[in-house]
Amino acid sequence: MSKVHNFSAGPAILPASAIQAGVEALQNFAGTGLSILEVSHRSPEYVAVMEEARSLVKELLNLNDDYEVLYLQGGASTQFLMTAYNLLEKKAAYVDTGTWSSKSIKEAKLFGEVDVIASSKDKNYSYIPKDLNVPQDADYLHITSNNTIYGTQYKDFPDVNIPLVCDMSSDIFSKSIDANKFDLIYAGAQKNLGPAGATLVIVKKEVLGKVSRSIPSMMDYNVHISKDSMFNTPPAFSVFVVMHTLRWIKDMGMTTIEARNKAKAEMLYTEIEFNDNFKPTTATEDRSHMNVTFLLNDESRNDAFLEACKEAKISGIKGHRSVGGFRASMYNAMGLDSVQALVNVMQTF
């Protein structure tokens, strides 16, 4: 069977080694004779998985013991709520850069005042706002590092004197960052980390326990920390595949991964810029290396282009239903050969 080039925005492409490990664990997990789908999460074999999956995050991001790593459920959408539940006492500052940040703003408003200090909605979220005026009396500043639908990405993160919270669902571990700038990072797994089902949360312990409200146990980060991320049954299979993906990232090295992602993006953006059939949708300086969004100049040919992609075994290239056009999601596990396959179709279309 010839290779299918998976440009899906999520659930998305994963390293072959992580998928193979998952296949084997479904049949016989860690020599137990049981499938990982049926083994106890309290067994020593599975506890070792959770511990390694947590420790690899701290190692890869160079985090010290001030931080805790959790694997929760409910996706980033639950973190929109949980972040505010745990951190918002009176007022929080948010930057609106697209659909997902807008959703996080909506949830935060349930818990206190939300000051939207900047937005790129005026230009259809085609850029990242700069020169932020951050209120010093806010409980935290929330940003979304990469915007999957509109194809924009922070190249530099703001320096602030209040806690910094970031939704990194679609670009975590795609480049080297100073993770110690952040007080809370969360990320749905189904982009660069693993299959859907697990949500990574990285939190600096000192920002917790400061709100006056009572927090239900399942919504309380401190409860999950006290139970080593297993207050309730975790998404065992998803975390297992995340662990193997993190091993792959460690073996590759962040420098190599970042260089590969940059090369893939440059290859595709160059074709979009110089091919008269296509046009980009985002400001040059803010273009995402993870999700490249573009349009045909003659949109009546959209279906024909999608058919040409299908014939070349290119999958998941259709843009989000809310914006149309096309979107090439090029997460860590995608090779340059897949991007070249798409470029070939664009050149011959």
Rounded to whole angstroms, the Cα distance separating 242 from 195 reads 8
Spot the catalytic one: 96, 100, 175, 220. 100
Question: Could you write out the three-class secondary structure of the chain?
Answer: CCCCEECCCCCCCCCHHHHHHHHHHHHCCCCCCCCCCCCCCCCHHHHHHHHHHHHHHHHHCCCCCCEEEEEECCHHHHHHHHHHHHHCCCEEEEEECCHHHHHHHHHHCCCCEEEEEEECHHHCCCCCCCCCCCCCCCCCEEEECEECCCCEECCCCCCCCCCEEEECCCCCCCCCCCHHHCCEEEEECCCCCCCCCCEEEEEEHHHCCCCCCCCCHHHCHHHHHHCCCCCCCCCHHHHHHHHHHHHHHHHHCHHHHHHHHHHHHHHHHHHHHHCCCEEECCCHHHECCCEEEEEECCHHHHHHHHHHHHHCCEECCECCCCCCCEEEECCCCCCHHHHHHHHHHHHHC
Is the omega angle on the peptide bond into residue 11 within 30 degrees of 0, that is, cis? yes
Q: Of 167, 171, 183, 286, which residue is the catalytic one?
A: 167
Q: Is 191 a catalytic residue?
A: yes
To the query of whether residue 251 is one of the catalytic residues in this protein, the response is: no
To the query of whether residue 286 is one of the catalytic residues in this protein, the response is no
Contact 271, 347 (CB under 8 A): yes
Tokens of 223: 């409860």
User: How far is Cα 252 from Cα 90, in angstroms, rounded to an integer?
Assistant: 43
Choosing from 139, 175, 183, 191, the catalytic residue is 191
* Residue 136 burial (C-beta neighbours within 10 Å; 0-12, 13-18, 19+): exposed
List active site positions: 100, 167, 191
